[in-house]
Amino acid sequence: MMIHETSYLFEDLTLDLDHLSSMLGYPGGLLPEPFNFYLEQAVSDAPSLCNIKGAWILKENMEFSGDRTLISIDGIEFGIGKTVTHELRNSSAAVFFICTAGEKISRRSQELLMSENPVLGYVFDLLGSMIVESATDELQAEIKKMAQSQGMNITNRYSPGYCKWNVADQHKLFSFFPTECCGIRLTDSALMHPIKSVSGIIGVGEQVQYRDYMCALCNQVDCILRNHHNRLK
Amino acid sequence: MEELLSKLAECVEFGKINIASPYPPQMKGQEGADEITRKALDQGVHPQDILSKGLMPGMERIGIKFRENKVFVPQVLMSAKAMSTAMIHLKPHFLSGAAKQKGTFIIGTVQGDLHDIGKNLVSMMVEGNGYNVVDLGTDVASDKFIAAIKEHPGAFVGLSALLTTTMASMEKITKDIKAALPDTVVTIGGAPVNNDFCQKIGADCYSPDPQGIVEFLNSKVA
Ligand code: B12
């Protein structure tokens, strides 16, 4: 099966800077001085700090196991758990994807965090996470187009490490891609380098449904995103 | 003197580094931790009092606000920066023995894991609460922790992990440390870790936030 590789420019991405501002503790975008300048600086430096790449592969012949916690593809079993199985139900195929913002932005963030400007470093960290998430949105849009051209729909995306899907399954996921595809390396402990990287699965089929995320699906009690969502409610 | 120290605590709590720093907006143009610490030393305030009655109460207040979700990471980073700016002036007094820290805290992200923001925050908070912090960085194996403890006898240890896969490494490191140096107090934290896991691996304390660990350490040195 063919691997589709894409790269993106920072300028291609849609970033919600209000969200970033509220992650910094200032909902509504009203950042005090000098945090407002840090945000401007991070956004203006970001293009030269990014190496945004994504890749995906379509795998047909996806089988669900009887107990509704496993899927099997090319004879490889993924213990995706009940929740993700439920979200993928009715899929006839699966797309596996990987995506990264590149390494430089994390390095810049780290340098600043430990020395002269920790807050700017933290802004780069948050921005790096947003970049990879937003690039994955683009990748997902591309996958949706491919599916629609074949008369199919896609589900939302789900990642190993969430919803009781063991993060160690990333080794199986990465076995579908050539080594260091998109410049991403997986350590023995299933950590991706660069840090600002994500991996996951998207269900494809005529009958599948796209559903928005719900924090309730996840078992991470003390999550900054969940705390954040709860605060906004 | 009381007034200087309470002003200093306020600078740390609100992250006012020096007079030039525009942050926080409500303290613009005022002196910061930098100037006030120097002034206090010049006026003969004991370095120990500057630490214990000025800087530490400020750090404690921001730690509590962070735990209660009343402030976010940037505010904590500003407080830590104000604190560390003041500490530059106090360092010579720690080295000469004129002032003492409460103990040593050795922290690192466990082998196989590279996440460091959480670890850095804990490190800054513990330091700000009067401890000497030795930060071993990320991807740290048992040997390195054990060597550091030998170098700082009686030091407390903090382990950080952000993935379930690296929790196994946390377990190994805890057991290795306890086998080599049974009296060592090991504390753990990170998103996927919890109290049950802490008990299971034989660590001494788990905390979801930095303030919890500060309180635990304080109870140990009290
Ligand atoms: C932002 C984020 C990302 C970003 C950026 C990652 C990064 N680190 O830069 C992106 C989108 C890239 C990402 C990717 C992934 N992520 Co992620 N991510 C997060 C998230 C939402 C926040 C992490 C963060 O920056 N927190 C802010 C810091 C300040 O908090 P902290 O590190 O937890 O530290 C605090 C406490 O834990 C504590 N603490 C920390 N250490 C210590 C030590 C001691 C001694 C003490 C006392 C306390 C303590 O104090 C700190 C301050 O309060 C967490 C969920 C969460 N924690 O809220 C998931 C989370 C860490 N991610 C998770 C997963 C699964 C992944 C992926 C594997 C998913 C995937 N397959 O693509 C990848 C892996 C990336 C990689 N490189 O390998 C899981 C990990 C659990 C697991 N199952 O292993 C989490 C917990 C989410 C979840 N709900 O399950 N992620």
Q: What is this model's ipTM?
A: 0.93
**CA gap A100, A6 in Å, rounded:** 11
* % of residues, chain B, pLDDT over 90: 94
Contacts 24+ apart (CB under 8 A), B172-178: B172/B111, B172/B142, B173/B110, B173/B111, B173/B140, B173/B141, B173/B142, B173/B145, B174/B201, B174/B202, B174/B203, B175/B201, B175/B202, B176/B142, B176/B145, B176/B146, B177/B142, B177/B145, B177/B146, B177/B149, B178/B202
The label of the residue with tokens 């400020």 reads B58
- Both tokens assigned to A105: 């932005």
Q: Residues B166, B77: one domain?
A: no
Q: Residues B111, B131: one domain?
A: yes
> With 50 as the cut, is the pLDDT of residue A233 above it?
no
pLDDT of residue A214: 66
Q: Residues B51, B148: one domain?
A: no
Burial tier of A75 (Cβ tally within 10 Å: 0-12, 13-18, 19+): exposed
* pTM score, whole prediction: 0.94
Q: Residues B90, B43: one domain?
A: yes
**Chain B: residue whose CA lies nearest to A115:** B81
Closest CA relative to residue B69, chosen from B196, B211, B192: B211
- From residue B62, how far is each of B70, B80, B98 by CA, in Å? 9, 9, 27
Record: contact A189-B163, CB cut-off 8 A: yes
- Both tokens assigned to B117: 């923001």
**CA gap B167, B111 in Å, rounded:** 10
**Chain A: residue whose CA lies nearest to B80:** A118
Provide mean pLDDT across the span A37-47. Answer: 96
CA of B58 to the centre of ligand 1 (A): 28
pLDDT in tens, B192-215: 999 999 999 999 999 999 999 999
CA of A41 to the centre of ligand 1 (A): 25
> With 90 as the cut, is the pLDDT of residue A27 above it?
no
pLDDT of residue A103: 96
pLDDT of residue A172: 97
Record: contact B112-A161, CB cut-off 8 A: no
Closest CA relative to residue A181, chosen from A191, A167, A193: A193
Contacts of B218 (CB under 8 A, 6+ apart): B102, B129
Q: Residues B71, B135: one domain?
A: no
> With 50 as the cut, is the pLDDT of residue A232 above it?
no
Q: Give contacts of B117 with chain A, Cβ < 8 Å.
A: 113, 122, 125
pLDDT of residue B74: 95
Provide mean pLDDT across the span A111-119. Answer: 89
Q: Residues B195, B118: one domain?
A: yes
**CA gap A26, A24 in Å, rounded:** 6
pLDDT of residue B97: 87
Pick from B77, B140, B163 the residue to mutate for probing ligand 1's pocket: most ligand atoms within 8 Å of its CB: B163
Banded model confidence at residue A114, pLDDT cuts 50, 70, 90: confident
In B129-176, DSSP assigns E strands to 132-135, 156-160
> With 90 as the cut, is the pLDDT of residue B156 above it?
yes
> With 80 as the cut, is the pLDDT of residue B55 above it?
yes
Q: Name the domain boundary from B96, B126, B144.
A: B96
Q: Name the domain boundary from B43, B62, B96.
A: B96
CA angle (B104, B110, B111) in 5-degree steps: 130
Statement: A3-232 belongs to CATH 3.90.1150.150: no
Q: Per mean pLDDT, which range of A150-154, A207-211, B48-52 is the poorest?
A: A207-211
Q: Residues B92, B109: one domain?
A: no
Banded model confidence at residue B18, pLDDT cuts 50, 70, 90: very high
Q: Residues B62, B140: one domain?
A: no
List all residues of chain B from 116 to 135 with a beta carbon under 8 Å from chain A.
Answer: 116-117, 120
Q: From the centroid of its chain, how far is CA A172? A: 17
pLDDT in tens, B168-194: 999 999 999 999 999 999 999 999 999
Q: Name the domain boundary from B96, B126, B160.
A: B96
What is the CB-side half-sphere exposure of residue B210 using CA atoms within 13 A? 29
**Chain A: residue whose CA lies nearest to B111:** A189
Q: Residues B109, B212: one domain?
A: yes
Query: In total, how many domains does chain B have?
Result: 2
Here the CATH number for the domain that contains residue B39 is 1.10.1240.10
Q: Residues B6, B86: one domain?
A: yes
Query: The domain containing residue B92 runs over which residues?
Result: 2-96
pLDDT in tens, A160-200: 999 889 999 999 999 999 999 999 999 999 999 999 999 99
Provide mean pLDDT across the span B60-88. Answer: 95
> With 90 as the cut, is the pLDDT of residue A223 above it?
no
Q: Residues B57, B123: one domain?
A: no
Q: Give contacts of A172 with chain B, Cβ < 8 Å.
A: none
pLDDT of residue A67: 83
Q: From the centroid of its chain, how far is CA B200? A: 25
The strand order across the sheet containing A153-158 reads: A3-8, A52-59, A93-100, A197-205, A153-158
Q: Average per-residue pLDDT in chain A?
A: 90
Q: From the centroid of its chain, how far is CA A163? A: 15
Here the CATH number for the domain that contains residue B204 is 3.40.50.280
A189 touches chain B (CB under 8 A): yes
pLDDT of residue A225: 57
Q: Average per-residue pLDDT in chain B?
A: 95
**CA gap B192, A111 in Å, rounded:** 26
